[in-house]
Structure 1
C-alpha cells in the first residue's frame, strides 16, 4: 500500500533534487516474528525517518509498507537527514534481537514532477541504489557525493565502493558509503555483481623472468606483514611488487590496493594517499588519516606502496597502520629500506643473461640465466608478433 503524508507538507523540490529511499532489511521475517506488533514497530521507524527529513528541510513524498521516499532541495541536507535517521534508528530499543536495520540510498538528479509525486529515470536509479545496500548502510551515487564532498557532517567519511552494475541502469554506477562515527561501517559487499575489490594496475605484457623472486617474496609475505623491495630506479621493483600483490590478492577479502606515492610531497601525507586510494574520502588530511586507522581495524587488505624512497620518515605510519589492522599486509617498493620494526627487506637485482644456472645460484641473486633473453623475446613479439630470434 502506498501512502502520502497526511499532514500539510512543503512543495516538492524542483530542479536538481536529492532523493532518499529507505526500507527495512528482512522486513518479511520481522512481520512473521512480530505478528500484530509489527504495525507499531513500522510506524515508529517511519516516524523517526520523517522527523529527520522534516528537520533538514526535506519532503516525505510517500511511503509503501516499510519503504519511504523523500526529496530534498539540497544534497547536504539529504545526507544530514540520513545520518541523523540512522543514528536514531540504531539507538532505539526495538523488540527484536538484532534491532531494526534500515538501508538507505541517496541519489541526486533532475526532478520530473508527476502530480504530487516524482517520475522518471532518476527516481528508479535512487531505488536501485538503496536496494544494493544492507541494513544500517547509507549508499550514495556519484552525483550526490560530488555535491557533498566538502560538506559532510562532522566526523562522517565518504568511502568509495567502486563501480557497480545496477538493474535497468545502462552503465555501471560509482557508489559510495557514509561511515558514521559510533555506528558500524563494516558491511558485506553490495548486492550487485561487482567483481573483487582493489585497484591493481592491469598487466599489459607477459610477466617473465622473476619467478624465483616471486616465490621468495611469497614466503616472506606469509611469514611477516611488511616486505620492502629495494633497488635502484628502473630495476623492476614496481612490476615485481605489483605481480606479488596480484598473486596473493585473493587472500585479502577487502582488496589489494596500489598506492602511487611519486606525487606525494610530504611524509605526513602518505596516510592520506592510502585513505583516498582505498576509497575513504574526507577533506582534511588528518581526518582522512584518523579515519583510515579506524576503518582498517577489522579489514583484510594488501597494500602496495610504490616509490617510498622520498618519504622514508613515514615508515612509522605504515607500522601504525599494520598494527591497527592485524589482517592486512604491506608491500613497499623503495630505493632504500624503511628501517622500521617488522620490515623484511628484499634487494631486487637485475635480470641476468650470464649463463649461470639458477640451481647454482642462491634465490636472492636474481632470475634464471635465460630470464633476460626470454623477456627480450616477449617484448619484441609484442611489437612484431612474427619475429623469431636470429631471423634478422
Structure 2
C-alpha cells in the first residue's frame, strides 16, 4: 500500500472522508521519493493505527487555549540528501501523534513536517512537549539518520544522552485566538495575533529546544505554586507528570519576534534529563546555524550544570517570588 493509498484508506476507515488525509500531507515525501513505498510495513501499520485513534481525540478547545508549533531542524537538507527521511518522518509523526492523544491535545493541522496543536490547558501542552522531547531520543531511527550530522548521538560528560535522531524545536503560547472550522478539513482552526506570536516563538527556538511565552510561565506558576490566578483548572495528571519530570524553566529575557512590534519575555523549558542541552548550545556542539539565545551570565547560565532542580520563575515578579523546589 503506497503513501497515497494509505492516506485515503485511513480516511475511509474512520468515516471522515478525506479530512484526516489532509492532516498528514506527505507532500515532501511524494516530491523527494517517488518509489512505491519507502516506509517499512511495520512503520506503516503503526502510523495507520495512530491516525485512526484520532477519532478518540479531545474535542477542539475554544476560548482560552494553549497552542504549540513544532518543526524539524534542517529538514530541507535532510529531505534533499538523506534517503531515510521518508521513514524517519513517519516515525516522527507517529510518536508525536501518540503522545498528543495521551496528553489530551488536538491536532489542528500539519504543514510539511511541522505540527500545529491545540490544548485545552497550558500544563497539558507543556507535558506533551517535554515528554515528546524525551521520547524522540528513543525512536528506532534509520541508521542513515543516525550517521548524518543532524541525527548523530550526543552525550554530556556524564554519559547522559542529549541528542539522537531528528531534532525538533517547539514553541508554546496561551491566549484566546479566533476559532473557525476549516471548510476543507472540517477541523477547528485558530487565527489571529495570538497564533502568529506562537509561531514566532517556535521559530526562535533551536533544535531540541522548547521556547515558551511569559503567559505560559504565569499559567504554570499559578497552577503549581498558587502564584496568581489561573485561566482555568489544570489537569492533575499534567501537574503530576511535569513535577515528576522535574521540568525546568530558564528565563531567556526579552526577544524580538519577526514581524511583531511587541517583544516577548521568553523562557526555555527542559525536563531535567535534558537540561544539558543548554550547555550544548553554549559550547557550539548543537549543529544549528542560529545563535545561542542565552549568553554567559544570563539567568539560564546558572542552570547548565545538569542539576535536577525544578525552577518555575515568573519574570514579572520580583526575585523573591522566583519559586524553586
Q: TM-score, normalised by structure 1?
A: 0.48
| 1:3 aligned residue | 23
Greater Rg by CA: 1
Q: Does 1:146 align with 2:218?
A: yes
Among 177, 185, 188, the residue aligned to 2:277: 185
Q: Does 1:100 align with 2:172?
A: no
| 1:163 aligned residue | 254
| 2:135 aligned residue | 88
* Aligned residue runs from structure 1 range 64-83, under 5 A: 64-83=111-130
What is the RMSD of the two structures over their aligned residues, measured on CA atoms?
Answer: 2.9
Q: Give the match's secondary structure for 1:91.
A: coil
Is this contact kept in 2: 1:129–1:166, CA < 8 A? yes
User: CA separation in 1, counterparts of 2:273 and 2:261?
Assistant: 36
Deviation per CA, 1:256-306: give whole Å up to 9, x if none.
Answer: x6xxxxxxxxxxxxxxxxxxxx258xxxxxxxx9x575369xxxxxxxxxx
Tell me which of the two structures has the higher relative contact order, counting C-alpha pairs closer than 8 angstroms and 6 or more residues apart. 2
Structure 1's consecutive aligned runs of 4 or more residues displaced over 6 angstroms after TM superposition are: 189-194
Any gaps of 5 or more consecutive residues in structure 2?
1-20, 25-50, 147-151, 153-164, 182-187, 225-238, 283-287, 309-325
Among 39, 60, 74, the residue aligned to 1:26: 74
| 1:334 aligned residue | none
User: CA separation in 2, counterparts of 1:153 and 1:120?
Assistant: 32
* Aligned residue runs from structure 1 range 296-335, under 5 A: none
- By how many angstroms is 1:81 displaced? 0.7
Is this contact kept in 2: 1:102–1:136, CA < 8 A? yes
Deviation per CA, 1:366-386: give whole Å up to 9, x if none.
Answer: xxxxxxxxxxxxxxxxxxxxx
Aligned length: 209
Is this contact kept in 2: 1:132–1:191, CA < 8 A? no
Deviation per CA, 1:94-120: give whole Å up to 9, x if none.
Answer: 221322100011100103112121111
Any gaps of 5 or more consecutive residues in structure 1?
198-252, 258-277, 281-288, 297-392
Higher mean C-alpha displacement, 122-131 vs 183-192? 183-192
User: CA separation in 2, counterparts of 1:185 and 1:132?
Assistant: 16
Among 85, 96, 99, the residue aligned to 1:49: 96
Is this contact kept in 1: 2:174–2:215, CA < 8 A? yes
User: CA separation in 2, counterparts of 1:3 and 1:174?
Assistant: 32
User: CA separation in 2, counterparts of 1:76 and 1:10?
Assistant: 15
Say if 1:133 and 1:191 are closer, same or farther in 2 by CA, change over 3 A. farther
